[in-house]
Amino acid sequence: MAAEVTKVGKRGTVVIPAALRRRLGIEEGAPVLIEEREEGVLIRPAAVLPVEVYTPERRAEFLLSTAVDAADYARAVEEVRKMGLAPSAVPHRKPPKG
């Protein structure tokens, strides 16, 4: 890994040399993570994952569908009712009887 010199521009911009950007897969507008380290600053590619915001109905579906037994399902039903939803109106899978 060879070191390259670059300059800090106006507003703190730093130009990452093109060959290095290509090797690291950093394209214009790509997110990078900047960390302060004892020996200086580390700049590396960052992964940004979308966050899904669940509706109350979707959360209720998760609660009801992931119940493992009758007692757990009864607790889930209570939680769904506390959310102001009717468990029978939420599409879900009931736990196996046994």
Q: Once rounded to an integer, what is the mean pLDDT over residues 71-95?
A: 95
Q: Supply the pLDDT for residue 2.
A: 72
Q: Once rounded to an integer, what is the mean pLDDT over residues 55-78?
A: 95
The amino acid present at 30, given as its one-letter code, is: A
Q: Supply the pLDDT for residue 98.
A: 63
Q: Which residues contact 75 (CB under 8 A, 6 or more apart)?
A: 67
Number of domains in the chain: 2
**From CA 6, how far away is CA 44, in angstroms rounded?**
16
The residue range of the domain holding 78 is 50-98
pLDDT category of residue 96 using cuts at 50, 70 and 90: confident
Same domain, 31 and 65: no
Same domain, 98 and 58: yes
Same domain, 62 and 34: no
Q: Is 74 helix (H, G, I), strand (E, B) or coil?
A: helix
